Every structure is written in structure tokens, then in C-alpha cells.
Amino acid sequence: MDRELLEKRVKNILEQVRPYLQQDGGDVNFIELTDDMVVMVELTGACGSCPYSTMTLKNGIESVMKKSIPEIKSVEQVKDF
């Protein structure tokens, strides 16, 4: 699949899950799609500091992403060090 089209689909899915995150005071930003099909995102607002953010990321965003785009291997959070 065309990488540009794939990125567009990834961003579209993030737009679909964004309202659920915003209800709880958080948000998600697309950072990049790696060569090995890992979607890198940044969780911001309440999601950035929430102890449940890993569950949100894996059980929420990643499961929706992989169901819609089977080529995606995982969704990972970019961490600030």
C-alpha cells in the first residue's frame, strides 16, 4: 500500500478516537509511521500523565488501528525524557 495513503488512513483513525480522549481532557498527536509499520503518537493533556494511558493506547487506539489497517504492527507512545 502507498505510504502516503497509509499515513492518511492512520490520521483518519486518530481523528475518530480523538473525541473520546478529549472527553477526559486528553488528546493524541500523530508523530510518524515507521518503516516497520509502527505508529508513533504523543498523548497530551490528561492522557499524557494518566496512569491508564498505556491501556488507552493499547486497548483503545491500537486495537482500532490494527482492526482497520491490518498492516499496522503496533501503536507506541513517544516519551519525553
pLDDT (tens place) for every residue of the chain, 81 residues total: 688 999 999 999 999 999 989 998 999 999 999 999 999 999 998 888 878 788 888 888 999 999 999 999 999 999 764
Q: What pLDDT score was predicted for residue 81?
A: 40
Q: What pLDDT score was predicted for residue 10?
A: 97
Q: How many domains does the chain have?
A: 1
Are 67 and 4 within 8 A, CB to CB? no
Residue 73 is classified by DSSP as -
Residue 70 is classified by DSSP as T
Q: What pLDDT score was predicted for residue 1?
A: 65
- CATH number of the domain residue 28 falls in: 3.30.300.130
